[in-house]
């Protein structure tokens, strides 16, 4: 979703689902695995909403569907592409929305091409694309050129139409196994039942083309004008509680907290970092460095940028590759917190072999999980294992205070219900003790590499407080020592005078702990519940809600009003907080027109172009590389979703037989068998009675 909308988060909320007229549930069995979502879906169904379910299995969710389609696993883009083609051919798109809130009119580079399953710029040796040809045509001011009409052959809209013209219902049937008539029925019902909501979970993401499948959802919803509106959106159903919170805090290999791009090894200074990422991130990165290093982060030392670890973009550091590197002896210690790789990673032999190459394995968990017991596996002689295994007994979720951020981006506070048993400790206490012990070991060191440990601001007191951590995330005015009341106050502060551990959380504790609010009144009747907890950013409940209004700033759906421009007061008002750059800028201003403000173009992206906004018309006089404002998100495997067979599929891709699977798919070195030896298709799904890797559910009596 990030390359489409500018953020990767779920666009709407659980309680907003009641506003939908139709649902497309594909890649989720929410009736079993997400009962809270189903609660609100059922409320919509009671009012006449239709439910469409696409799934390889007839699930309990499918049993509630008005339309069920059984699909060959991994072929979602085929039927979604046919729906996109149908929308374009039958002119079912929301023309006003498409023209004003998407990049449909923008002109694409003359060098862009798509032929025989490959986009322009492909290098078969590296299995990667050079993306220069995926850019826009730029004017002298370095801004994208726009066509007069969407029919212009260089426009995004025309390129979109040409790309999906191959995706007929009949072709989609041959690929997906869903009858052509059924796909047409799905298209008719979903396109006419506005607003429509799309829901997915791991059933969509766990594919070699999962990202592009979700991109296809985004294109459909942008064409239909369903993003930014109550009852619309794309809603991601997470695999467990607080997935949103963990990604907010950078549980992703490519991010720092708040979705700041992670520095790479060629970034020697903040300026180097901004050349790649854009000046938009300067304030937030500096504020994060101030939060982490305090008075040791100054303008003179580049705010301690050298203290941050840098990643190597040529090294794949994702989970499977990490264990491959570990198996080669490249790691001495693994600190394993809340993960059970011996169960969750399919190559168990690799995991056990890699763990045996470590000097030490530290496992923090509630139970002695399989990963901690790898040395007891059948056929393994413990005497041959050199790895020292240390257990840190962790507190259960109800034994510790803190926040949990749900899929709706609601930061919800909880207190500990009871004290941890025995030697168990909350994660925060555990990490606090560990850091303090480590810092003592480094005391007096003058080695440059030890500076980040010695210079870190670690002021959580003798006994750590989860609330104090949340306040650090919310942000301080470093000149006064006071918390910022709102995200607006944080944004107004000069660079270097603010600190925040996660800028998107700014304001959550500015006027008391707003995450602890439990007022469930809903004056709007739209399920916004604005006084219940706090949603990032700035308590906005439905993202991109500027797109719920027309060019004059007035709601296009009189029944589901989110925000509007109050001409008399000269401010954006409404039932929801405005997802806007500046609430005092009217709809006729450049700022007031931005419906997708986190994208450099300010609009939703049908075509995921390469683009950096704010580039100067002339190179800097000092000869240094120019710094733009914000780089667009891209997909490494193409600017449009294209159907490719699953990597190990025995079936030929009828759209382009010479390029059957994704040309960018990461093919692991593990030996792959033949379909004749194993003529089965495996799918993954969540077992509601068995929580994730089962460390809890298999140990509770």
77-126 per-position pLDDT tens digit = 999 999 999 999 999 999 999 999 999 999 999 999 999 999 999 999 99
158 with 240, same domain: the answer is: yes
Residue 251 maps to a domain: no
402 with 515, same domain: the answer is: yes
Low-confidence residues of the chain: pLDDT under 50: none
376-402 per-position pLDDT tens digit = 999 899 999 999 999 999 999 999 999
Among 47, 41, 82, smallest CA distance to 64 is for 41
Greatest CA separation found in the chain?
A: 79
Residue 146 maps to a domain: yes
Cross-strand partners of 402? 414
**Whole-angstrom distance, CA of residue 356 vs CA of residue 26:** 40
Looking only at the bridges linking them, the beta strands covering 612-613 and 402-405 are: unpaired
170 with 195, same domain: the answer is: yes
Among 112, 91, 93, smallest CA distance to 101 is for 93
Strand spans (E) along 212-307 = 234-236, 255-256, 260-261
Q: Which two three-digit tokens encode residue 653?
A: 């891709």
> What are the start-end ranges of the H helices in 475-548?
487-492
The contacts of residue 456 (CB under 8 Å, 6+ apart) are: 292, 293, 296, 307, 435, 439
9 with 151, same domain: the answer is: yes
What CATH number is given to the structural domain containing 162? 3.40.228.10
Q: Which two three-digit tokens encode residue 596?
A: 């997708």
SS3 362: strand
The contacts of residue 598 (CB under 8 Å, 6+ apart) are: 5, 6, 7, 630
Among 101, 39, 44, 40, smallest CA distance to 226 is for 101
**Whole-angstrom distance, CA of residue 641 vs CA of residue 507:** 37
453 with 519, same domain: the answer is: no
Q: Which two three-digit tokens encode residue 535?
A: 């949603």
69 with 157, same domain: the answer is: yes
Buried b (16+ CB within 10 A) or exposed e, 426-456: bbbbbbbeeeeeeeeeeeeeeeeeebbbebb
439 with 531, same domain: the answer is: no
Residue 107 maps to a domain: yes
Among 699, 58, 692, smallest CA distance to 340 is for 692
**Whole-angstrom distance, CA of residue 80 vs CA of residue 24:** 11
457 with 485, same domain: the answer is: no
443 with 490, same domain: the answer is: no
Buried b (16+ CB within 10 A) or exposed e, 326-361: bbeeebeebebebbbbbbebeeeebbbebbbbbeeb
Q: Which two three-digit tokens encode residue 513?
A: 């702990």
162 with 72, same domain: the answer is: yes
What domain count does the chain have? Answer: 4
Q: What is the DSSP letter of 578?
A: -
Q: Which two three-digit tokens encode residue 337?
A: 């917190």
Q: What is the DSSP letter of 661?
A: B
Domain boundary (497, 518, 541) is at: 541
Secondary structure (DSSP) of 129-167? E--GGGBB-B-TTSPBPB-SSTTSTTBHHHHHHHHHTT-
Buried b (16+ CB within 10 A) or exposed e, 523-555: ebebbbbbebbbbbbbbbbbbbbbbbbeeebeb
How distant is the alpha carbon of residue 77 from its chain centre? 20
Q: What is the pTM of this model?
A: 0.95
Phi, psi of 339 (to 5 degrees): -130, 145
How distant is the alpha carbon of residue 416 from its chain centre? 29
Residue 365 maps to a domain: no
**Whole-angstrom distance, CA of residue 418 vs CA of residue 433:** 21
How distant is the alpha carbon of residue 383 from its chain centre? 44
143 with 191, same domain: the answer is: yes
- For the chain, what is the radius of gyration of the CA atoms? 26
Asked if 594 and 613 touch (Cβ cutoff 8 Å), the reply is no
Residue 335 maps to a domain: no
Q: Residue 671: what pLDDT?
A: 65
* Length of the chain as a residue count: 701
Q: Which two three-digit tokens encode residue 171?
A: 């072709």
Residue 250 maps to a domain: no
Q: Which two three-digit tokens encode residue 594?
A: 């931005």
**Whole-angstrom distance, CA of residue 250 vs CA of residue 490:** 21
Secondary structure (DSSP) of 12-67? S-TGGGGG-SEEEEES--HHHH-HHHHHHHHHHHHTT-EEEEEESS--TTGGG-SE
Phi, psi of 255 (to 5 degrees): -125, 155
Asked if 326 and 354 touch (Cβ cutoff 8 Å), the reply is yes
SS3 content of the chain, % helix, strand, coil (to 5): 30, 15, 55
Phi, psi of 68 (to 5 degrees): -120, 135
- How far, in Å, are 184, 240, 433 from residue 407 at the CA level? 31, 10, 31
Q: Residue 241: what pLDDT?
A: 83
Residue 21 maps to a domain: yes
187 with 45, same domain: the answer is: yes
Looking only at the bridges linking them, the beta strands covering 563-566 and 476-477 are: unpaired
The residue range of the domain holding 574 is 545-594
Residue 437 maps to a domain: yes
């Amino acid at each position: 979703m990030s390359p489409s909308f500018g953020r990767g988060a779920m666009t709407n909320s659980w309680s907003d689902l009641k506003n939908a007229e139709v649902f497309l549930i594909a890649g989720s069995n929410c009736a079993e695995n997400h009962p809270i979502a189903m609660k609100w879906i059922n409320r919509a169904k009671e009012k006449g909403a239709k439910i469409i379910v696409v799934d390889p299995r007839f699930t309990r969710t499918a049993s509630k569907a008005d339309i069920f389609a059984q699909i060959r696993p991994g072929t979602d883009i085929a039927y979604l592409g046919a729906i996109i083609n149908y929308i374009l051919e039958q002119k079912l798109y929301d023309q006003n929305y498409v023209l004003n809130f998407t990049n449909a009119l923008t002109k694409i580079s003359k060098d862009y091409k798509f032929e025989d399953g490959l986009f322009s710029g492909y290098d078969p040796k590296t299995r990667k694309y050079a993306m220069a040809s995926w850019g826009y045509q730029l004017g002298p001011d370095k801004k994208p050129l726009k066509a007069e009409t969407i029919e212009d052959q260089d426009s995004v809209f025309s390129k979109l139409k040409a790309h999906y013209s191959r995706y007929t219902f009949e072709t989609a049937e041959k690929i997906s196994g869903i009858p052509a008539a059924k796909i047409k029925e799905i298209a008719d019902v979903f396109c006419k039942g506005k607003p429509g909501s799309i829901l997915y979970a791991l059933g969509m993401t766990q594919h070699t083309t999962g990202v592009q499948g979700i991109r296809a959802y985004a294109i459909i919803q942008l064409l239909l004008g369903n993003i930014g509106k109550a009852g619309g959106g794309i809603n991601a159903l997470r695999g467990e509680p607080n997935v949103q919170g963990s990604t907010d805090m950078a549980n992703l290999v490519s991010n720092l907290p708040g979705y700041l791009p992670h520095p790479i090894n060629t970034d020697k200074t903040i300026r180097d970092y901004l050349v790649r990422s854009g000046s938009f991130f300067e304030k937030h990165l500096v504020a994060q460095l101030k939060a982490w290093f305090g008075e040791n982060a100054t303008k003179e030392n580049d705010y301690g940028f050298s203290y941050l670890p840098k990643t190597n973009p040529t090294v794949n550091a994702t989970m499977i590759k990490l264990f491959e590197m570990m198996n080669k002896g490249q790691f001495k210690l693994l600190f394993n917190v809340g993960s059970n790789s011996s169960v969750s990673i399919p190559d168990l032999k690799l995991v056990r072999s890699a763990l045996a190459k470590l000097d030490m394995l530290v496992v923090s968990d509630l139970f002695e999980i399989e990963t901690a017991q790898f040395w007891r596996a059948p056929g393994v002689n413990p005497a041959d294992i050199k790895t020292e295994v240390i257990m840190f007994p962790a507190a259960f979720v109800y034994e510790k205070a803190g926040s949990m951020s749900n899929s709706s981006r609601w930061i919800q506070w909880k207190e500990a219900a009871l004290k941890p048993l025995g030697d168990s400790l909350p994660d925060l206490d555990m990490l606090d003790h560990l850091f303090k012990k480590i810092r003592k070991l480094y005391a007096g060191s003058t080695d440059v590499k030890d500076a980040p440990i010695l210079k870190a601001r670690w002021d959580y007191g003798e006994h750590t407080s989860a609330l104090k951590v949340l306040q650090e995330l919310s942000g301080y005015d470093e000149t006064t020592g006071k918390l910022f009341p709102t995200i607006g106050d944080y944004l107004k502060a000069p660079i270097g005078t603010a600190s925040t551990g996660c800028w998107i959380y700014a304001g959550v504790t500015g006027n008391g702990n707003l995450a602890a609010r439990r007022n469930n009144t809903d004056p709007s009747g739209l399920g916004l519940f604005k006084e219940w907890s706090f949603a990032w950013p700035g308590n906005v409940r439905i993202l991109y809600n500027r797109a719920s209004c027309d060019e004059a700033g007035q709601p296009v759906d009189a029944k589901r009003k989110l925000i509007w421009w109050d001409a008399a007061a000269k401010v954006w008002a409404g039932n929801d907080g405005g997802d806007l750059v500046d609430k005092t800028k009217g709809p006729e201003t450049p700022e007031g027109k931005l419906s997708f403000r986190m994208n450099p173009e300010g609009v939703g992206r049908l075509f995921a172009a390469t683009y950096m906004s704010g580039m100067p018309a002339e190179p800097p006089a000092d000869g240094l590389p120019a710094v733009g404002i914000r780089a667009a998100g891209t997909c490494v495997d193409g600017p449009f979703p294209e159907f490719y067979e699953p990597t190990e599929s025995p079936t030929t891709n009828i759209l382009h037989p010479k390029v059957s699977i994704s040309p960018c798919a990461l093919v692991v070195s593990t030996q792959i068998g033949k379909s004749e030896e194993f003529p089965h298709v495996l799918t993954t799904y969540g077992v509601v009675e068995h929580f994730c890797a089962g460390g809890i559910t298999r140990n509770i009596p």
